[in-house]
Structure 1
Amino acid sequence: MNRRELMLTFGALGLSGLAPTAFAQTDLKSAARDAWIFGLPLIEMATTRARQMKQGLPPNFFAGGRALSDHTARVVTTPNNDTLYLSAWLDLTNGPVTLTVPETGDRYWSVAIMDMFTNNNAVLGSRTIGGAGGTFTLCGPGQPSTGPNPVRVATPHAWALARVLVDGPEEVPQVQQLLRGFKVSGKAGKPPGAYAERGADPVAYFASVRDLMASDPATALDLRLLRRTAGLLGEGQIAPADMAAVAAGVAEAKSLIKVGFGGQESIKGWRYPRANLGDYGQDYVYRAAVALAGLGALPTAEAMYMRPDGEKDGVFHGDGLYRFSLPADVPLDGFWSLSMYEATPDGQFFFTDNPLKRYAIGDRSKGLKRRKDGGVDVWIGRTDPGGERTANWLPAPKAGPWMVTWRAYLPRPALINGEWRLSPITRA
């Protein structure tokens, strides 16, 4: 759908052609808040795509897998240090694209196919199809499939993000060889344009959201919001007299998605993902919050991501030593890890440099010390706790706020439905 077709669609719905004076008759501040939140996943996806393509990644091509993510990885927020990543930005405008997966055996792997609104349209992997590999046909909206194993994608552009488990740095060469068998092929259309980023002024931001929706339209489920925000996401122009109200709405939107990570439930000091993680429906606030702080998150059946409440605004600030304890038996069929991140002022998270070059601790960590009962105590802090505790030390940044994320891959029902809960992180 091009820009003209999008505007015709808006016109048919009564969304286009709103005069500037129409803003005075609506709650412009709340409309600006909701429009900014609605558009953020599109903006974050476009920004990430632009950064990776600037590094030489063409559309319909897998790239990455050079090394486990470390403190230098600054393209995608909240990466893991457990898997090698492959990334492909899909262009289905000229027809379906073919995805080839090699035989992976018992090794954990997944390829998440996300539309431009960050919904996981499909997750192919160990859980869903096993380790035999295969060929899959990724089809855009309305496209017939003439290839094997069709997978329907909700927008003409999409993101394929592959994860393959690495059990320590010594396995990286072996897994890199396996990654060469992951392939995407298909003819791409014209290169994507330049779009505003999240920090842009409201006029540029909303113009980019409109342009992105021209390439990757919203669905009928979004019509109610689109009608309410038509003056910003349709053809309406922001009058100078209305800029203050729009700016106030945008500021409220930014605060809303940062506080409480989109309203995730907090239990015993941890924030648990909602059941709709990775397939958000009309939960626009949660979708935007995840796009900001955890872009590319998998659905809970594949992985669960838990964040502690922290000490203020969802992060920690202390200089002392903290303890995180786990029992011997954790209800999952995959693996777990606890990752350390430094928090940026705009609400994103990246690995932090440290003397051990240790960015996560998990059940596969070499030299991990266990208690007599088989459980694990992880020691978290800016300085080495010394002695036997060093083996289980997760270094925090030398200064500034920090956050940890606990990941559980292939969680069992007891973890998904809340029968089993994490213990809080405490000061040692």
Structure 2
Amino acid sequence: MAIEGTPGAGLTKEQLAEEVTHLATPDLLKTPFGEFEFFDGVPKTESVQSIFDALDLLRGIDAFLTAVPGASLVAMRTGLRTAGVDSPDKIGYTDPRANSGSIFLTPNTETTYGTTFLDLKAWGPTVIEAPPQSLCVVDDFWFRYVADMGIAGPDKGAGGKYLFLPPGYDGERPEGYYTYDSPTYANWVVLRTLGGVPAMKETRIYPLSEAGSPRENTFLNIAPVLQNTVHANDFTFFEEIAQLVSEEPPTALDPERAGTLASIGLAHGTPFHPDAHRRAILDDAARIGAAISRALVYKPRDPDAFFWEGSSWKNAFVGGSYEFLRGGALNLDARTQFHYFATVITPAMAHAQVGSGSAYAYTAEDADGHALDGSATYSLRIPADPPAKNFWAIDLYDTQTRSLLQSTPYPALASLSGTVQAEDDGSYVLWFSPTAPEGKEANWIPTIPGKSWFPILRLYGPLEPWFDKTWQLPELVKEA
């Protein structure tokens, strides 16, 4: 049975007219992209191209910020190939450790690294035999976490066999392996071993089809080989992403991000050849995207990016999530912030535990909020009892390349060295300047006049005072 109700009073004609003003677009709209003209809401012909140029610019900027993780690994693979690491059975390593000669995103100078890329399209299912007492990570080609191997992995540091399967694999899954499905064919492998280079060379990588008689691996010392592994900040960035999109299956990326890329011509199975007009727009988009990324890294507006209230020291993993999730939503700024200046995605980095793993803090400004100037002299006091079970270290980086500052092969100081001198109260005063202050050589890292820089503090085996914030870093002080 239907029941008739009484309608509300509705709006007056005057109120309805006022509502329409909020729905309408004026005939002349002034925007950051220029003036757009309309006839009663319909774009005039002479404005249509400008409107779509604005759309392409916005989509290009969004694509840059979205695709920084993928571009980072495309550039990493390209750089490693120039150093001879061009096959999964070739493993590059840094002996004795990373130095400032090449362009890498914020490596440390305390660790011997090993690295290569899996090619699951060419090799199919691939085995990695992780060496004992190692810290190894596999990330997919969009820089998403796939697996930990070694101490943080299921073998718990005993060593083990790991099997990586390509996208869409539906074949045999033999026993005796820790098995992982990857959404991409290319996968980045990072190896760190507590036993140094000899332990690194215990690593084995081979196709599953060769499990009965694995091939030998080739180990290449890439430390002295100059290479660039950092993505571009101009139109070339989108050409790097085009490689990734063309090589990987459409299912490698979620429809939302795939749609953002497709809107500017980056779609699987479609050649990326924008005309000169769109190329110029995308070049602007990349440069603006890079500018935004630098603001997120060096001057973030998110309060959660800072370790302590009123401090400039920042956290690389904002929110402590390796997936950059916060409150059930993807923290877009945090993802761009991390990937623009750092590498390696693993829960072990994002969720450091008391006494294990490592913790990081960085800043790019002094106590007055000014960018650090390589021509000036700065001091930093490391308070007594640094909360590190193993040791602490500070490395300096170039603000342009986000790579080790090329003022010296190893622009770093570490408590493990035994040469850093403590003050009477147990604190350490470190110095940063083009030339060493008299008598401070042991606690000094050289800088480069005319070039900015930023430090990263690493605590290896962070202790409770770090987590409860009872131990805090002061600001860098510019000396008169």
Q: TM-score range by the shorter chain?
A: 0.7 to 0.9
Match for 1:390: what amino acid? E
Deviation at 1:48, TM superposition (A): 1.6
> Does residue 290 of structure 2 align to residue 251 of structure 1?
no
How many residue pairs align between the two structures? 383
Q: Give 1:324's aligned residue.
A: 380
Deviation at 1:178, TM superposition (A): 1.8
2:436 maps to which of 381, 384, 392: 384
| Structure 2 unmatched runs, 5+ | 1-47, 210-228
The code of the aligned residue for 2:232 comes to: R
Query: Aligned partners of 2:125 and 2:259: how far apart in 1?
Result: 32
Which of 397, 405, 424 is the aligned partner of 1:372? 424
- Residue aligning to 1:36: 64
Find the residue that maps to 2:69 and give its secondary structure.
helix
Residue of structure 2 equivalent to 1:11: none
* Deviation of the 1:365 alpha carbon: 1.7
Report whether the alignment pairs 1:425 with 2:462: no
Q: 1:216, CA displacement in angstroms? A: 2.9
Which residue is 1:57 aligned to? 85
Q: Say which SS state the counterpart of residue 462 (structure 2) adopts.
A: coil
SS of 1:270 mapped into structure 2? coil
2:165 to 118, 130, 139: 139
Q: CA 1:220 to 1:341, structure 2 compared with 1: closer, same or farther past 3 Å?
A: closer
Q: What does 1:42-81 align with in structure 2 at a 5 Å threshold?
A: 42-61=70-89, 62-72=91-101, 74-81=102-109
Matched, 1:212 2:244: yes
| Amino acid corresponding to residue 328 of structure 1 in structure 2 | A
Matched residue, 1:342: 398
Q: 1:278 to 1:151 in 2, by over 3 A?
A: same
CA deviations over 1:296-330 (Å, ceiling 9, x no partner): 36532343332113259985115343222223333
Name the residue aligned to 2:452: 401
Cα distance in structure 2, aligned partners of 1:280 and 1:164: 27
How far apart are the structure 1 equivalents of 2:144 and 2:470?
27
C-alpha separation in 2, matches of 1:142 and 1:382: 55
294 and 196 in structure 1: CA distance in 2 versus 1, 3 angstrom threshold:
closer
State the match for 1:415 in structure 2: 466
| Residue aligning to 2:147 | 122
What secondary structure sits across from 1:160 in the alignment?
strand
SS of alignment partner, residue 83 of structure 1: coil
- Tell which structure's C-alpha radius of gyration is larger: 2
- The answer as to 2:200 corresponding to 1:179 is yes
Give the counterpart of 1:24 among 41, 52, 60: 52
- Mapped to 1, the partners of 2:242 and 2:177 lie a distance apart of 35
Distance 2:370 2:132 in 1: 40
Q: Give the Å deviation of 1:179.
A: 1.7
Q: Kindly provide the CA deviation profile for residues 223-259 of structure 1, in whole angstroms up to 9, marking residues without a partner as x.
A: 2243345321335975665555444433321110011
Structure 1 Cα separation of the partners of residues 380 and 119 of structure 2: 43
Write the letter of the residue equivalent to 1:85.
Y
After superposition, the Cα gap between the structure-2 partners of 1:138 and 1:329, relative to the gap in structure 1 and judged at 3 Å, is farther
> Partner letter of residue 376 of structure 1?
Y
CA RMSD of aligned residues (A): 3.5
- The question of whether the paired residues in 2 share the 8 Å contact of 1:60 and 1:97 is answered with no
Larger relative contact order (Cα-Cα within 8 Å, sequence gap ≥ 6): 1
Counterpart in the other structure of 1:270: 313
Q: Does 2:178 correspond to 1:149?
A: yes
Cα deviation per residue 1:314-369 (whole Å; 9 max; x = unaligned)? 8511534322222333334443210022333xx43223233xx5421122122221
Distance 1:137 1:410 in 2: 29
* Match among 242, 259, 262 for residue 227 of structure 1: 259
Q: d(CA) in 1 for partners of 2:467 and 2:125?
A: 34
2:412 maps to a residue whose letter is A
Q: Distance in 2 between matches of 1:49 and 1:314?
A: 35
8 Å CA contact 1:87–1:159 kept in 2: the answer is yes
Q: How high is the sequence identity, in percent, across the aligned residues?
A: 19
Residues 38-75 of structure 1 deviation map (CA, whole Å, 9 limit, x = unaligned) = 22322221122122122211322322132212222x14
Aligned counterparts of 2:166 and 2:428: Cα–Cα separation in 1: 46
Shift of residue 415 of structure 1? 3.4
Distance change (3 Å), C-alpha of 1:219 and 1:403: farther
**How far, CA to CA, are the matches of 2:471 and 2:451 in structure 1?**
32
What's the secondary structure of 2:426's corresponding residue? coil
Any conservation in 2 of the 1:65–1:179 contact (CA below 8 Å)? no
Gaps spanning 5+ residues in structure 1: where?
A: 1-19, 166-173, 189-194
Cα distance in 2 between the residues matched to 1:100 and 1:31: 42
Q: Deviations over 1:118-169 (max 9, x none)?
A: 223223343445432222223333436324122343422111111235xxxx
Paired letter, 1:186: P
Distance change (3 Å), C-alpha of 1:64 and 1:164: same
Q: Please tell me whether residue 351 in structure 1 is matched to residue 405 in structure 2.
A: yes
After TM superposition, the structure 1 stretch with the greater mean CA deviation from structure 2, 217-226 or 329-338, is 217-226
Give the match for residue 169 of structure 1.
Answer: none
Aligned CA distance change for structure 1 residues 379 and 141 (closer, same or farther; 3 Å): same
Segment of structure 1 superposing worse, 251-260 or 317-326: 317-326
Other-structure match for 1:304: 359
Q: Distance in 1 between matches of 2:250 and 2:51?
A: 23
Native 8 Å contact 2:361 2:458 kept in 1: yes
Can you list the C-alpha shifts for 1:398-426, whole angstroms capped at 9, x where unaligned?
A: 55222211122343465357565322222
Aligned to 1:12: none
CA distance in 2, matches of 1:221, 1:419: 42
Structure 2 equivalent of residue 15 of structure 1: none
Tell me, yes or no, if the aligned pair for 1:259 and 1:313 is still in contact at 8 Å. no
What residue number does 1:14 align with? none
Counterpart of 1:427, as a letter, is K
> Counterpart of 1:361?
413
Task: Mark the CA change 1:196 to 1:187 in structure 2 (over 3 Å): closer, same or farther.
Answer: farther
Distance 1:163 1:206 in 2: 31
Letter in 2 for 1:40: V
Cα contact 2:130–2:160 (8 A) shared by 1: yes
